[in-house]
Homo-oligomer: A and B are copies of this chain.
């Protein structure tokens, strides 16, 4: 729990009042591996902070499983569009390893955002960060060949490769698993 508060205050300071209020509302959830956290077609009611473990966000396109995002320790995951707009999520979330999540419901989130300007500040800064990292990802997809995207991912997250099947990595990088297999073969 402290890890979340620590993470948030690192982005922008929070009053004791806000911290107490957040702490009171966050639910701790322990899950084994391979557990669905959000099912496609359901509205996403929670935003999750990964205290420990590993999850992925994914969806199906033409019957193929496409990984959109990996959430490692100390990061957030959720069906963001569904969470904020209250429409059914096209995407699913599942644990890839046993994980401990800190969950904040939509209603609690709004309550915290209303009550605490400093919390809204943190949320704003996180959103801008998310926007900028999507920009980077778009740029990489447009200009970096598959091999470089793979190398960059391995550099940024060396353990990931050992922790998840190749196919998940491949679709996350925007290539087929066949292509990714060839890419790493040469070297």
Contact = CB atoms under 8 A, between A and B. Distances in A.
Interface residues of A, number: 23
- Most chain B beta carbons < 10 A, residue from A128, A130, A132: A128
A121 to B, nearest CB: 6
A124 B130 contact: no
Nearest to A123: B124
A25 B42 CA distance: 44
A88 interface: no
Contacts of A84: 128
Q: Which of A113, A121, A131 has the most CB of B within 10 A?
A: A131
Contact of A128 (B80, B121, B143): B80
A120 B122 CA distance: 10
User: Chain A: interface secondary structure?
Assistant: helix
Contact of A131 (B113, B120, B121, B127): B127
Contact of A134 (B61, B113, B121, B138): B138
B143 A142 contact: no
Interface string A155-187: 000000000000000000010000000000000
